[in-house]
Amino acid sequence: MEALGGELLRQGAEGRVYAFSLFGRPCIVKERFAKRYRHPTLDERLTRSRLNCEARCITKAAAAGLRTPTLYGLDYTTGRVYMERIIGHTIRDRIADLQEKADTSSMRVLARDMGHCVAMLHNTGLVHGDLTTSNFMQEDESGDVVMIDFGLAYATLLPEDMAVDIYVLERAVESTHREAETLLDAFRGAYAAKANKSREVLAKLEEVRARGRKRVMVG
C-alpha cells in the first residue's frame, strides 16, 4: 500500500488500516493479516467469510438509514476492504475537546446521536461488536455522526447480544471519559426512545452488568 501512496493510519492484531485515494476519492483500505499458524486454505476461507460479513453488515445498516462509510469493494486475494474515508474527528476526540471547554450540552448531543445510531443498528438485526467512542466519527462538513469499523459486526435478533453491545460501549466510555455517567445517561435515553426492543435489551443489560461485576470480584 505504501508503494501506491497509501498512508498507514493504524495497525492492530487483525490487520492494518490505510488512507488512500481511489479514482480521486478519499478512501480507507482495511487489510487483514494472513494467519501463518492456520492452514492457507482455511485462512483464505475464514478471511473471505469475515470480509463478506463486514460488507453485508455495512450495506444492511446503510440501507436502513444509518450513516456509515460507503463500501467501494472487496479484494479476497489481498484480504482488503475498500470504503469511503470519513473526513472528520472521532467522537472520542470531540468529547475530549468539549470536556476541555466544559461544554456538557454538546457532549450530551453527541451521546444522544450515538444512542440513535446504535438503536437503528439493532433495529436492523445487527450488532457492532466493538462499540467505543473511537468507532464513531463526526463528519466535518455535515456534522453527522457516522458509525465505523464493522469488522466484528454480525447479524442477531437476540436482546442479550444487543445488551452486550451496549455493555462494551459502557465499559469503553467509563475507562476513557471523565463525565462518563452524563454521556451514558444521554446515550441510554436516546437508545430507549428509538430501539424497537429497548425494554428487553435494557433488562438484559442489567444481567450482563451483574455478570461483569461478578467476574471482577472473582478475578
Q: Is 157 helix (H, G, I), strand (E, B) or coil?
A: coil
Judge whether 103 counts as a catalytic residue. Answer: no
**Which residue is catalytic, options 130, 161, 165, 185?**
130
Report in angstroms the alpha-carbon separations of 114 from 4, 40, 41, 73.
35, 39, 39, 26
Under 8 Å CB-to-CB from 101, ≥6 apart: which residues? none
DSSP-assigned letter for residue 2: G
Give the residue carrying C-alpha cell 453491545: 165
Buried b (16+ CB within 10 A) or exposed e, 20-47: beeeeeebbbbbbeeeeeeeeeebeeeb
Q: Would you give the distance in Å from CA 207 to the centre of its chain?
A: 23
DSSP 176-203: H-TTHHHHHHHHHHHHHHH-TTHHHHHH
List active site positions. 130
